[in-house]
Amino acid sequence: MSTGKEAEALDAYSQAITTAAERAGPAVAKVETGRGGRQVWPWRGDQHPRGVGSGVIYSSDGYILTNAHVVADASRVTITLPDGRALPAGVIGAESAYDLAVLRVAANRLPVAELSAAPLRVGQLVIAIGNPYGLDFTVTTGVVSALDRSLPIGPNQKLDQLIQTDTSINPGNSGGPLVDVHGRIVGITTAILPFAQGLGFAISASTAYEVIGRITERHRQSIAKGLLGISGLDLEIDASIVRQNNLQQSNGVLLLEVAPGGAADRASLRGGDILLDIEERKIETVAALREAVQALKHRRPWRVTFLRDGRRRTVSLIPTT
């Protein structure tokens, strides 16, 4: 935060922007994708680097909101936090009709930005924070130019109830927050018009609220129905941990979520653990995990080996019937 002398040197406008950036900035992340993942919709042109966008942490236990088009068709998603940590992320769900996606990382006590339910007014000051062209933590300012805009994104498809803003938005800002002077999220930046100046668009916070609720509920129902009650993603294990534990594999499955009361929860597994094998069947990918679960579903119990805090451990697990 600014010192007293610094605050005196700033005019009210600068102070508002600085305060908003300091409040929301720690919750803004870089989203990088492998194989697929588009920063901008095709109708906006493609002269830009691929595979880099932005996201905003809205829940301290690792939930991140971004654009659906940022992670579309991505086989790998990496989140880089403002503190420099790079974490693998899983796509919890997406709704392309609203261009929003929810990601999850295995981390807790993360800084968050608040979604605002307050109504917007044309002319209101807003601030965009993101990673345009990979330039981390870039802050730009402008105003709400118009509300309730519609924008075509393809044949017979359009985005509705958009916020129009003259805030500078570039490829890489996609999925990042548009915030008010209090640092609260009022929108998720999504689109620019090619060859135009001062014509940017963001998905409203009210729309984001609704989409987050639907995606989260579908995901919770899905993992609750599984034999293990988990969600996870493929992970390459750090070479030093492989050597330290004398492992015969360099990949495992990182647990992102463990459903309360599910089989994994009852066996004391938790988010952040890395599955290595089940009944001596190597679990190096989510696909291998699914195959093992199907092959062993009639056996009880299972001996499960995993990593926690860099150390190999084993538990007995009874899958849900």
Residues involved in catalysis: 69, 99, 174
Selection from 52, 178, 170 nearest residue 113 by Cα: 178
* Maximal C-alpha separation, the chain: 71
Residue 183, CB half-sphere, CA atoms under 13 Å: how many? 17
Give the pair of three-digit tokens for residue 36.
Answer: 């697929």
Q: Provide DSSP, 209-277.
A: HHHHHHHHHHHHHHHHHSSS-EEEEEEEPPHHHHHHTT-S-SEEEEEEEE-TTSHHHHTT--TT-EEEE
SS3 (DSSP) at 313: strand
Say if residues 71 and 91 touch (Cβ distance below 8 Å): yes
Instruction: Kindly give, in sequence order, each residue whose CB lies less than 8 Å from that of residue 63, ignoring residues fewer than 6 positions away.
Output: 57, 92, 102, 103, 104, 216
Say if residues 77 and 40 touch (Cβ distance below 8 Å): no
